[in-house]
């Protein structure tokens, strides 16, 4: 399938908002917009996402042909696809997925991913996958890392060729989403779970689960699995506990 050209902008409020507008106007699966700077970027749960010049911000219109029951697995497929692209740039295959779908390297955040579902006026549904990659700058107030630290040569190329990095990310994300949507199974992670688990940070390590809003500690245990529904499974002193991404965020116990 030939994907449409990517629209590359110098600066924009939010690439997800632009892609949403394109999708509502009928843009096809794989249509995408990239920017060198965002002035109103956002992350999960409405948190502001610092979006300085020197990085790459990309949003992709996705129209996977799956049942509603499988749609929660879309974010995992997008995360694995983005990781495929970034691992080709960074040395020693350092980048890993952070449950549920952000990307880490050297225990710090390299990229943030936000997948938003949209329903059109005609009742048709699609999704927008937004990703911000720290290319030459990492937010100072966050535990973040940039491609410039991991692979200086690749960072220099990406910084001057926003369209090239955006195309690599878009193409890998779409390829993973297509493979996931074509797989057998009726559970969200069917078709991507094996690769997702193989690329997941902190597997078999001690972690702390915290309330995403208050930061209150919910549990401590060992991350032993992510089940077919996308829930993190912790082995705790009182038994196994399954947590959704809405219920908890995870951190290494060594950091607390």
Residue 45 has pLDDT above 90, yes or no: no
Report the run of H or E that residue 80 belongs to, with start and end: helix 74-87
Residue 256 has pLDDT above 70, yes or no: no
Tallying the residues shown for the chain, one arrives at 256
Q: What is the pLDDT of residues 58-85, one digit of tens each?
A: 999 999 999 999 999 999 999 999 999 9
The CATH number, out of the four listed (2.40.50.140, 2.30.30.100, 3.40.50.720, 3.40.190.10), of the domain defined by the range 202-255: 2.30.30.100
Residue 59: CB atoms within 10 A of its CB come to 32
Residue 234 has pLDDT above 60, yes or no: yes
Residue 91 has pLDDT above 70, yes or no: no
Residue 4: CB atoms within 10 A of its CB come to 14
Taking the C-alpha atoms of residue 50 and residue 29, their distance in angstroms, rounded to an integer, is 27
Q: What is the mean pLDDT of residues 157-177?
A: 85
Please, what is the Cα angle at 63 between 197 and 165, to 5 degrees?
65
- Beta-ladder partners of 180: none
Confidence (pLDDT) at 130: 96
Residue range 7-195 in CATH 3.60.9.10: no
Confidence (pLDDT) at 121: 73
Confidence (pLDDT) at 76: 97
Q: What is the mean pLDDT of residues 133-155?
A: 78
Closest CA relative to residue 84, chosen from 159, 160, 176: 176
Domain span(s) for CATH 2.30.30.100 in the chain: 202-255
Mean of per-residue pLDDT scores for the chain: 89
Domain span(s) for CATH 3.30.930.10 in the chain: 7-195
Closest CA relative to residue 177, chosen from 80, 95, 102, 86: 80
Instruction: Give Cα separations from 76 to 5, 67, 95, 114, 188 (angstroms).
Output: 24, 16, 15, 11, 9
Residue 169 has pLDDT above 90, yes or no: yes
Q: Is the pTM of this model over 0.85?
A: yes
Edge-first strand order for the sheet with 217-226 is 239-243, 232-236, 217-226, 206-210, 249-252
Taking the C-alpha atoms of residue 35 and residue 157, their distance in angstroms, rounded to an integer, is 16
* Secondary structure tally for the chain: helices H, strands E: 6, 12
Taking the C-alpha atoms of residue 173 and residue 171, their distance in angstroms, rounded to an integer, is 6
Instruction: Give Cα separations from 184 to 179, 187, 232 (angstroms).
Output: 10, 9, 22
Higher pLDDT pick, 21 / 143: 21
Find all residues with CB under 8 Å of 61, minimum gap 6, and list them: 19, 22, 23, 27, 28, 29, 30, 31, 32, 126, 127, 128
Confidence (pLDDT) at 54: 79
Residue 47 has pLDDT above 60, yes or no: no
Confidence (pLDDT) at 113: 95
Confidence (pLDDT) at 50: 56
Confidence (pLDDT) at 228: 98
Tokens of 10: 């110098």
């Amino acid at each position: 399938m030939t994907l449409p050209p990517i629209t590359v902008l110098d600066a924009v409020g939010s690439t997800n908002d632009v892609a949403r507008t394109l999708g509502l106007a009928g843009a096809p699966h794989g249509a995408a917009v990239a920017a060198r700077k965002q002035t109103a970027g956002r992350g999960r749960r409405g948190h502001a996402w610092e979006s300085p010049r020197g990085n790459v911000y990309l949003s992709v219109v996705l129209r996977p042909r799956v049942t509603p029951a499988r749609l929660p697995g879309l974010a995992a497929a997008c995360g694995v696809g983005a990781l495929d692209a970034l691992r080709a740039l960074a040395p020693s295959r350092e980048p890993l997925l952070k449950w549920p779908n952000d990307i880490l390297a050297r225990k710090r955040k390299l990229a943030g991913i936000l997948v938003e579902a949209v329903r059109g006026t005609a009742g048709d549904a699609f999704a927008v996958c937004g990703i911000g990659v720290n290319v030459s700058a990492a937010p100072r107030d966050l535990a973040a890392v940039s491609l410039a630290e991991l692979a200086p040569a690749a960072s220099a190329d990406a910084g001057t060729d926003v369209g090239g990095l955006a195309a690599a990310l878009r193409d890998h994300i779409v390829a993973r989403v297509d493979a996931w949507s074509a797989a057998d199974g009726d559970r969200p992670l069917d078709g991507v779970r094996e690769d997702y688990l193989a690329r997941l940070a902190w597997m078999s390590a001690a972690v702390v689960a915290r309330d995403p809003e208050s930061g209150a500690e919910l549990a401590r245990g060992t991350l032993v699995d992510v089940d077919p529904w996308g829930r993190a499974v912790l082995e705790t002193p009182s038994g196994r506990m399954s947590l959704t991404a809405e219920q908890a965020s995870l951190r290494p116990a060594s950091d607390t």
